Chain A
Amino acid sequence: MWSWVGHRITGVVIFIFLLVHVLDTSLVRVSPEAYTAVIGAYKNPIMGLGEAALVAAIVFHAFNGLRIIAVDFWKKGPKYQRQLLWGVLALWAVTMIPFLIRHLTIVFSNFFGGH
């Protein structure tokens, strides 16, 4: 149940991000100055945390998506779904920890270090 709720929420979050992202990127065709301004506005720690959350959502959605495919097509998938979910969460943690260390260091050093 909760793996499914998580999958749907992250799926919708990624979709909304993609929608906004297509819009802001297409601004470059309308007005390069407005594009630079909008993209520049992303360069603050709040957005940095937002990016971290987005990556967390994508990584969970991707690994759990592979788990759902295994449940659907691997013979023993349904039997081991719970173990697979723990695997997804473990892989998620293993991916997120190094990423967060690197990403947050960059985000906060840029902000507090002044750019």
Chain B
Amino acid sequence: MSTVETELPEPASKIELPAHLGGGGDIPTFDITLRVRRYDPEFSEESKWEDFTMTMYGTDRVLDALHKVKWEQDGSLSFRRSCAHGVCGSDAMRINGRNRLACKTLLKDLDTSKPITVEPIKGLPVEKDLIVDMEPFFQSFREVMPFLINRDHTPTKERLQSAEDRERFDDTTKCILCAACTSSCPVFWTDGQYFGPAAIVNAHRFIFDSRDDAGDMRLEILNDKEGVWRCRTTFNCTEACPRGIQVTQAIAEVKQAILARQI
């Protein structure tokens, strides 16, 4: 029987090349310290830092480190995540002081010699640990009417649109509503009433859609004192967006559309 144990289930079909010959080699591992901002109102009104140390692989992301903590060290650690692949927008958080998706941030791209800080996104009320109340964010999103409004008779087949017309708002269709942009905006931090970049991005998505008829209404809504004019072009939103949307550009286009409509 002992021979069976040493035999592989399948013979090696290729020779593993070491890294210096272009092969993948072994996945490197490293030790990290994850410094998480903890908050649990059932125990204390104060939030505090807590350090977790662990060994991780070079292919791991911040989300994997959070999972390792939750599954192996402290089950009370709370955070949101769903898809784990950058499409659902659940796990935006402040990692080393920058808003990113935990599931799209590889540990090896961060400085692993220092503790990696993980905090909830700013400007929204924290509920527990990394979970914030997203309601104010979605409230602004709903206010811009992020759905197609068309007064024509409903066609029996699809509503046709030229490739150029579709291209006009392509960038802003990519939003996953993660709130990384809105919660990176210094105007939003001090004025929670501001619509915020995400709502403007999603308004832009319909304002510049040739099939939509309610562009004027949306421009009117965003012409509010808490609308696009609060934007101070700090570009934090553009830098934070995990989808690479040119957020500040979209806001500038909405500003210009409001001005063009009034003259």
Contact = CB atoms under 8 A, between A and B. Distances in A.
B186 A78 contact: no
B256 A78 contact: no
Contact of A81 (B186, B232, B248, B256): B248
B252 A71 contact: yes
A1 B248 contact: no
A77 B246 CA distance: 12
Nearest to B187: A4
A73 B238 CA distance: 18
Contacts of B234: 1, 3-4
A36 to B, nearest CB: 42
Given A4-B232, A81-B235, A71 B186 contact: no
A1 B237 CA distance: 10
Contacts of B249: 78-79
Dominant secondary structure at the B interface: helix
Interface in A1-44: 1, 3-4
A81 B249 CA distance: 10
A68 interface: yes
Given A1-B186, A4-B186, A71 B232 contact: no
Contact of B248 (A3, A73, A78): A78
Contacts of B232: 4
A72 B248 contact: no
Contacts of A71: 233, 248, 252
Nearest to A8: B232
Interface string B222-251: 000000000011111011000000101100
Interface of A: 1, 3-4, 68, 71-73, 77-79, 81
7 contacts: A1-B234, A4-B233, A71-B233, A72-B255, A78-B233, A78-B235, A79-B249
Given A78-B248, A78-B252, A81-B235, 11 more contacts: A1-B235, A1-B236, A3-B234, A3-B235, A4-B186, A4-B234, A68-B233, A71-B233, A71-B248, A73-B256, A77-B252
